[in-house]
Amino acid sequence: MTRKVTIALDAMGGDQGPKAVVPAALVTLEKDDSVNLLLVGSPDTLDEARAEAGEKYGNRLSFVSATEVVDMDEHPAEALRRKTKSSMRIAIEALKRGDADACVSSGNTGALMAIARHVLKMLPGVDRPAIVSAIPALSGYTFMLDLGANVGCNAQHLLQFALMGSVVAEDMLDIERARIGLLNIGQENIKGNEVVREAGELLSQSTLNYVGFVEGDAVFGGKADVIVSDGFVGNVALKTMEGVAGLISSILREEFSQNPLRQLQGLTARSTLNAVRNRLDSRRYNGASLLGLNGVVIKSHGGADKLAFETAVQTAIVEARKGVPVQIGRLIEDQGIECIRG
């Protein structure tokens, strides 16, 4: 029997706010009757959501009013200190109290990280939370972390990221032993800076399925299920990938509109082009996990639409059912890792 879970949704976060969150919530409830949702938003937003949902979902859809909203450009420290009644804060506090099994927000990433870390606290043995997300690859998906939470890292931090990423990959891909690769400028042991080389040694001594150093092409090539890097490198790599995907899409549209013959060729190849577009569509792998926290928190892209936010909610459902934080805690304990400060 499928375990029932409750997911708290910050309805006010992101560029589209409730215009994306509310429809995604209703679609989720329609598809999975073992999921309950807690919608947190302004009174006006909740009134509109109630009217749209009607009585169809009964007590599976609950509403919690919030009087404040964290702005997308707000400084994390200010959001943490001043916005204690925000939809983001209230959704995370619902997770802390046990009223929800996971939280999803498209809001300010820095604020979400700061508030979640303050309210939920860190798992024992984990010093820094990391952001992990799925990246489309030839064999399906590759999970990559950290994607921007930590600009500077030491070798122990990278080991912690690898441990946490392995849990997510194994749960989301339904595999037993995720292959872990450490992103580097070459595959040889002498390549890379001191931190990366030291992290490679630590990973080699761990119980993880470490496959060694990997270069950037491995993200798409299926050589590893998890790619580990510090947040600076990871974020630059992620934004570069998004840019390349957009470039490919733009070039294809441009080339197939050059003249009537090209347009005809485009019509002939439409099904193939649509398939390529779907595989590269970032909305279909939206939802980055904030790992290392005492709870499941999913960061949806700030520009998420209905489909993208629904994908993020699905990620939260899987992680909540699998108990990702508990699994991470056990793995960290099994490795005998102590919290590293700094």
Residue 197 lies in a domain: yes
Same domain, 136 and 119: no
175 lies in a domain? yes
Query: Bridge partners of 36?
Result: 6
Statement to judge: residues 135 and 280 lie in one domain: yes
How far is residue 129's CA from residue 147's CA, in Å, rounded to a whole number? 11
Of 150, 143, 193, 149, nearest to 164 by C-alpha is: 143
**Predicted pLDDT at 338:** 52
Supply the angle between the helices 306-322 and 18-31 in degrees, to the nearest 10.
Answer: 50
pLDDT one-digit tens code per residue, 80-126: 999 999 999 999 999 999 999 999 999 999 999 999 999 999 998 88
Span 58-72, pLDDT tens digits? 899 999 999 999 999
Asked whether 282 and 301 are in contact (CB, 8 A), the reply is: yes
Per-residue pLDDT at 339: 46
Most distant CA pair in the chain, distance? 65
User: What does the pLDDT read at residue 342?
Assistant: 43
Q: Look at residue 93 and tell me if it is in a domain.
A: yes
pLDDT tens digits, one per residue of 162-197: 999 999 999 888 898 999 999 999 888 888 889 999
Same structural domain for residues 97 and 221? no
Quickly list DSSP for 226-244: EEE--HHHHHHHHHHHHHH
Same domain for 71 and 163, yes or no, is no
Q: Is the dihedral of CA 267, 269, 270, 271 positive or negative?
A: positive
Sheet with 5-10, strands from edge to edge, namely 61-65, 35-41, 5-10, 102-105, 296-299, 288-291, 130-137, 140-145, 226-228, 179-183, 209-214
Based on the fold, state whether residues 137 and 257 are members of the same structural domain.
yes
Rg (CA), the chain: 21
Determine, yes or no, domain membership for 329. no
114 lies in a domain?
yes
Ramachandran category for residue 242: left, alpha or beta (phi over 0 → left; psi -120 to 50 → alpha): alpha
- pLDDT (tens, 9 = 90+) of the chain, 342 residues, equals 678 999 999 999 989 989 999 999 999 999 999 999 999 999 999 999 999 988 888 899 999 999 999 999 999 999 999 999 999 999 999 999 999 999 999 999 999 999 999 999 999 888 888 999 988 888 788 999 989 888 888 999 999 999 999 999 998 888 989 999 999 998 888 888 899 999 999 999 988 999 999 998 888 888 899 999 999 999 898 888 878 877 877 887 787 788 887 777 777 777 776 776 676 667 787 889 999 999 999 999 888 899 999 999 999 999 999 999 999 988 888 776 554 444
- Asked if residue 139 and residue 107 are part of one domain, the reply reads no
Indicate whether 149 belongs to any domain: yes
CA distance 225 to 220: 10
Return d(Cα 44, Cα 19) in angstroms, integer: 13
Domain that holds residue 84: 1-124+292-322
The pLDDT value recorded for residue 284 is 80
Q: Return the residue matching tokens 């630059």.
A: 236
Q: Say if 189 falls within a structural domain.
A: yes
The total domain count for the chain is: 2
Helix axes 324-335, 155-173, angle to 10 degrees: 140
Q: Which residues pair with 291 in a beta bridge?
A: 130
Residue 177: give its domain's CATH number. 3.40.718.10
Structure tokens at 290: 């904030």
Is residue 334 included in any domain, yes or no? Answer: no
Angle between helices 231-255 and 270-280 (to 10 degrees): 160
The verdict on 141 and 201 lying in the same domain is yes
Q: Is the Cβ–Cβ distance between 42 and 69 less than 8 Å?
A: yes
The whole-chain average pLDDT of the chain stands at: 88
Same domain? 135 vs 266: yes
C-alpha distance from residue 129 to each of 14, 93, 114, 220, 323 (Å): 21, 18, 10, 25, 17
